[in-house]
Amino acid sequence: MPAEKEEAYKSKLTEAVQAGFIILKKGGPALDAVEASIKILEDSPLFNAGKGAVFSSEEINELDAAIMDGKTMKAGAVAGCRTIKNPITAARAVMENSAHVMLAGAGADAFAAAAGLHLVDPSYFKIEERWAQIRELKQQENRSDKIAAPNKYGTVGAVALDASGSLAAGTSTGGMLNKKYGRIGDTPVIGAGTYANHTCAVSCTGHGEFFIRFTAAHDIAALMEYKGLTLEAAAHEVLINKVTRAGGVGGIIALDALGNTVTPHSAEGMFWASVDTDGSCHVNVCNMIID
């Protein structure tokens, strides 16, 4: 990765994690910190969420997001959105202002409009780098006379623990590049790509179909609660011994009620940032594989 782009990732990740920390330092709830951090990443074209979302096979942007409050066990999610500037805010609105957990497609967009959320023209999400990716992939399909395998481009997420001991998790994504038939991955599926309760908060990224099949995020919490595993052991068991062995690739950020954090991944790289209670910030932008 060019040094300039690496610094751009580090800067934006630092900005996002510090935004959440400022809220927590003032005694704010974990839910607010999670939303604030994710909104910054959604507004950046660097990440596959919000502004930087990849294109589907129909050459449109379809956005997914979810958020969960570990204290109340309330959750909200949106999927297949096309006009919501910040899907994570829409997910929270579903949680707090509706009787539902997940809304999808035109219905989710209509709900966001009725809720007074910030809507944008779909052209807002069309950035040159992502457009070039889908056009190149389409050209490959035409030349080979067969459908090219969809490439996978990441997800953004955040987990937080507040002063009251409450945990929260959120995740947002544009999904898979070249996804077809309105495909929805694990991000908005509570318990698969996003989950929080009294034991831990989890946000996942990767090949969503595998995280759905193994209910990955919830499984980590269950292993901790019912088998007494540590956060590190539970995350390793789910990601490496289940998801990865089955053929899935991805990563996890997770935080437990004691403030322990883990960031295991079986992909070639995963960028993350964290902040300690004293405000010390740690940023990781590198390529590595954890066995």
What pLDDT is recorded for position 291? 35
In this structure, the number of other CB atoms found within 10 A of the CB of residue 269 comes to 14
Could you give the CA distance from residue 289 to residue 280 in angstroms, rounded to a whole number? 25
- Taking alpha carbons only, the member of 94, 103, 40 closest to residue 67 is 94
Q: Is residue 57 part of a domain?
A: yes
Q: Can you give the pLDDT of all 291 residues of the chain as single tens digits? A: 788 999 999 999 999 999 999 999 999 999 999 999 999 999 999 999 999 999 999 999 999 999 999 999 999 999 999 999 999 999 999 999 999 999 999 999 999 999 999 999 999 999 999 999 999 998 887 776 555 554 555 899 999 999 999 999 999 999 999 999 999 999 999 999 999 999 999 999 999 999 999 999 999 999 999 999 999 999 999 999 999 999 999 999 999 999 999 999 998 889 999 999 999 999 998 654 433
Q: Is residue 17 part of a domain?
A: yes
What pLDDT is recorded for position 288? 45
Task: Label residue 157 exposed, middle or buried (CB < 10 Å: 0-12, 13-18, 19+).
Answer: buried
Active site annotation includes 155:
yes
With beta carbons less than 8 A apart as the criterion, state whether 197 and 70 touch. yes
Q: Is residue 291 part of a domain?
A: no
Q: Is residue 289 part of a domain?
A: no
With beta carbons less than 8 A apart as the criterion, state whether 169 and 217 touch. yes
Q: Is residue 13 part of a domain?
A: yes
Residue range of the domain that includes 214: 3-284
What pLDDT is recorded for position 268? 81
What pLDDT is recorded for position 152? 56
Q: State the catalytic residue, choosing from 155, 187, 194, 244.
A: 155
What pLDDT is recorded for position 153? 58
**Total domains in the fold of the chain:** 1
Q: Is residue 173 part of a domain?
A: yes
Q: Is residue 290 part of a domain?
A: no
Q: At 56, which CATH number?
A: 3.60.20.30
β-strands 74-81, 102-104 pairing: parallel
